Amino acid sequence: MLSGCGTDAEIAPERLATAQDGHIVSVAWLPSGQLYVLRYVDSASPTRLAMITSSGRGETVAVPSTGFCGAPEIVTISTLPDGRLGAVVDCEATTTHVSSRIAAALDDGKMVKLATLGAQWLVSWDDDLSNGWVEYADGDCSSIARHVKGHVVPFPKHRPAELVPFDLDQDFFDPSGCSTPGRAGFLAVARSGEIFFLVSDEAESLFGESARWRVMTFDPASGLIRQTGPELTDPSDVAVSPDGAALLVSGRHDNRSGVWRIDTASGEFSRALSGRFGAIGVSADSRRAAVARRTERGDDLVQLDLVQTAPGP
């Protein structure tokens, strides 16, 4: 196993947005500098999209119905390669049924449909906004796959993984033969095309608190999957800086909760923020991250300086 280097960050992070009632489930930081969060007040209430103002307050952004999407409810948000705000949207969603899940761009109060997703969660688009990566669920299987021109296709061929005590080639990326337990998810994609994700042969879902997860990297050019970072439990989110240098994971390592910063080249890691954190968004210049911090009143948003928190020797 890889070992950590450096020390835990001691400087209190700058607050970007004040605590609000509710839980932040997704963060998007656009190249323009504008921050968006997706949150809900309780499990029975719909999600709400908010734009973070200069005063640190969340200004609700209405997402109107369209001819192709009635009663839209946003599942997750992201930054598209062209700089717009992207979203996965359930159309005409109810507590028992989802008629259609789409990928969309949210631009000046309008929703532009990009693709039909079925039950999938879109994680990242390629630059042409026709191909990308999704997390999917098929029965008891939760894994990751390519999304190519409206269709989910198998995970690309890959070489055996390094430093992994179980076989990633055995059903992990094949929805037709998924093993139980066995999960792959929490996907993040760098501009270079490298894929970062977590895998577990213990988890019964993507949100098992005690299951151990391992941080992995897939390089499509070489076909190599390798272990990149520490073993974690109870992960909440994974994000990679656009330049691919830093991977951030909110979760627990060695019974310590926080945000872990992993150097993707060396595998060195350290705890950049200490405490309970969730959703993560990284700025376009790869220098900062916005992280949801859990408080007694709700979640607020804090800034993490990725330059100052780089793992040291």
DSSP per-residue string spanning 49-94: EEEEPTTS-EEE-----BTTBSS-EEEEEEE-TTSSEEEEEEES--
In which band, very low, low, confident or very high, does the pLDDT at 1 lie, cut at 50, 70 and 90?
A: very low
Q: What is the mean pLDDT of residues 85-95?
A: 80
Asked whether 276 and 294 are in contact (CB, 8 A), the reply is yes
State the Cα–Cα distance between residues 45 and 303, nearest whole angstrom. Answer: 27
Q: Please tell me the predicted confidence (pLDDT) of residue 9.
A: 46
**Range among 116-120, 122-126, 297-301 rated most confident:** 297-301
3-state secondary structure of 175: helix
CA distances from 30 to 43, 128, 236, 238, 283 (A): 27, 18, 21, 17, 7
State the Cα–Cα distance between residues 120 and 85, nearest whole angstrom. Answer: 19
Asked whether 173 and 154 are in contact (CB, 8 A), the reply is yes
**Range among 67-76, 224-233, 270-279 rated most confident:** 270-279
Q: Evaluate if residue 65 carries a pLDDT over 90.
A: no
Q: What is the mean pLDDT of residues 211-239?
A: 90
pLDDT tens column, 8-53: 545 678 888 887 778 999 999 999 999 999 998 777 788 999 999 9
More confident residue, 219 or 122: 219
pLDDT tens column, 156-212: 888 776 667 677 776 677 766 565 667 888 899 998 889 999 988 887 766 667 888
Amino acid letter, 196: F
Q: What is the mean pLDDT of residues 48-66?
A: 90
- What rounded mean pLDDT belongs to the chain? 84
Q: Please tell me the predicted confidence (pLDDT) of residue 2.
A: 38
Q: What is the mean pLDDT of residues 119-136?
A: 83
> Which residues, in sequence order, are CB contacts of 289 under 8 Å at separation 6+?
29, 239, 241, 248, 259, 280, 281, 282, 283, 303, 304, 306
Q: Evaluate if residue 271 carries a pLDDT over 60.
A: yes
Asked whether 173 and 185 are in contact (CB, 8 A), the reply is no
Q: Evaluate if residue 7 carries a pLDDT over 80.
A: no
Asked whether 215 and 192 are in contact (CB, 8 A), the reply is no
The number of beta carbons lying within 10 Å of the beta carbon of residue 64 is: 9
Q: Please tell me the predicted confidence (pLDDT) of residue 202.
A: 82
Q: Please tell me the predicted confidence (pLDDT) of residue 153.
A: 83
pLDDT tens column, 92-114: 755 555 558 889 999 887 899 98
